[in-house]
A and B are shown apart, each in its own frame.
Chain A
Amino acid sequence: MPIEGLVFTKNPVELQNQLLMGFISITFNIQSHQAVLVKAANNTSRQVTLPEVEFSVVGPKEALVESLDTNLYLIRKRLPIAELAVEEIIVGKLSKTRVAVIHIEGIANRENVETVIQRITDLKVNQIIDSSYISQMIEDNKHSPFPQFIDTERPDRLAAVLGEGKVVILVDGAPHGLLGPSTFVEYFAAFEDYFLNWTIASFFRLIRFFAVLFSILVTPIYVAVLTYHYELIPKDLVSTLVISRSGIPFPPILEALILELVIELLREAGARLPTKVGQTIGIVGGIVIGTASVEAGLTSNVLLILVALSALGSFTTPVYQMGNTIRLIRFPLLLMAYFIGLIGISISFCFLLVHLLRLTSLGRPFLEPIYPPRIYDMRDALIRLPFFLQAKRPIEVQTEDTIRLEPKEDSKD
């Protein structure tokens, strides 16, 4: 029969499984117990569309969709080689979700691949609805607010990291792929960085790091300074601050907490509503509530500026989940700033650093290349150097084949 995907089987369990997956069973002879399974499932799925979460002005504009087969095709068309290995695992007692673990043989470290496969096979769950289920269940540290797998909807990004030697996980029904092992700095690298000239890309990346640092620290510093360390600010600036705060009935910590929570509220409301209503809410919240609360004397306008800027800063992270984390970790810092001022901020910053130091992604250090310091990997971390300077694959991944760019001359090193 000229039909693709024919399966002959005698096994009644398999027969049943395949029937439930949309196959037709044809039995020729009852005595032989053999059946032919013909694939007849009507796979309705969304068309491949523009990436919406990780939008980029330049570069490919395809995003993953909910169908695993389409997603695999999107990756395979970018890597048409025999070494691209796909391992499929069925997970979930109820959902029977197909999970594909993809890597390139000869480049990816076997250990990484086996860790991922092992962790997925060990899962004893009922349902896998989305790839984020998998990422939460197989993370190294399940209690950390930091994501340890990068979540992306761009097939081009997945293809690129496969070439770096990383492992990619795709889940049927999920329009997002996971990739690991990942490092902290990777979460601040937009994939668009690679489409721009390296000087511009590096500048943008540094801006992003600065924005995130600013976003975490600025409100705690405001609270610490205005609660304890007035002397820290020069005379002229202090007068500006005092004028903006005069007549405000709340202590700085309460003021900051209220405003931060208002921003979170706006974000949450915007996220839950349809796009157009969400925009309106943003305008109403941002402009009307902001101005009104300053005019009513509930908050100082300096703090309003700082909180709005820090919210903006947290939105610069290209990976959505990291942005959430950045917004969350501001609150413990705020409280510590209220209790012991600048020293409290330092201590909680230390806690943050230690937490990052202790984190691993698939057993590889998360803070690499900052610690353990690896100069080579620094070429694509805080800044991105041109491609010809990145002849080797990142050390972090411990690839089997480390050379990415063949040298032109036959020179060593």
Chain B
Amino acid sequence: MTRLDAWHLPGVDAAGVREWTERELVDGLTLRTPVPEPAALARVIDHIRTARERSLAHRPVQDIVAVIDEAAARLQRPDDPRRALAERALPALTGYSPPMIRLILDRMLADWRKDALETLLEAEFGDPLVLDRFRPGPAGGRIRAFGPELAFHIFAGNVPGVAVTSLVRSLLVKAATLGKTASGEPLLPALFARTLAEVDPELGACLAVTYWPGGSAAPEEVAFRAADTVVVYGGAAAADDVRRRVPADTRLVVHGPRLSFGVIGREALREAEVERTATAAAYAVATFDQQGCVSPHAMYVEEGGEVGPRAFAERLADALARVQEELPRGRISPEEAATIHQLRGAAEFRRIAGADIALHEGPGTLYTVIYDADPAFAPSCLNRVVWVKPLPELGDVVNAVRPFAALLQTAGVAGAGDRLLDLAERLGRIGVSRVTDLERMPWPPPTWHHDGRGPLRELVRWTDLDE
């Protein structure tokens, strides 16, 4: 029996914890977190704020980058004990297959290395030293950026790494950082925090990570009162709930659920290209088992190419079968499987009723591709269920997805040729925050304007000094 401590609370000693929440995973792994008492949480908050005031607030940003870089480097090593734990526990926790977990860890960890962080800082601030001191501003005078004194993050979902990225951003702007993990993935943020504290105890003392059931009033009130910035991941209901409960002058950053799709033009449908296109589309669907906000629900395929939309659906199904070998679909709940059967059944009966539909099913529920000539956007029930819809012209995709404008995020585009810029312009207008190719679709760069806003800039406030 291995007991995993899925928490990192500066100033709290395991021996002093009165009550634990324990959760059994597979093969003898147990996860535990302290049941948060408001008074104890208040002490933790004091602790990390004081530590920030003493050290983090005055440390050069380059220093912080170096510490995060070293923590990420350790977690990249196959022989690192925490890395090994993550690889063992995360499949049981999240349902993702072990190869998927390894892929996600590798890709995410690369984003927390020095080069990536420096690129992010430069992209966001031009001159990252504005985080350290007054620097010459673009219009004369000097400018200085200040991060939050205490940022409280509430995480959701089970995609490993999303939470850590949020913690990293918070630390880069020198905020004392408290993260409440999601029940779907409470582990990696804690492992990261502990690694960071091992690399640099001073920085580790400014970061706290733990789990409690979302919506627990008592600990959350304490955190809401103390924080000057609250970052929330989750659905509209969770965001509304938080909005009602935080003081009006607290800065609130919300990352709600998002919706992505693919757009494939004729140039990518040539016989010589189509295999590559289908494979890239299949990886985009398969990665995170489609649970990511970057995961496509549908592939819009232009008509008139060497391979038409209907035939492309078949190629995509073949590619998903191949991808299954390398990145097996994870465990899904009976409810999720039931929904897949319902969606397949509905499609089949629509075809029987005369609609132009073709259904391609993998064994069991492993993957499903539904070609549907109706161009109206249809949501997927996820877990590798994807629609293929025809487009007379590439640009017609804009009208198809427009009803969902407020939720749109990534468009993975292939074969647009010299129409790409125009397409991006039109997709951007309605709210798409990222236009990329199918290969890069699942992996936004750290510099991406997350849901349309600067990931670091949205955390800071500015002081201008006129001279």
Q: Are A and B physically bound partners?
A: no
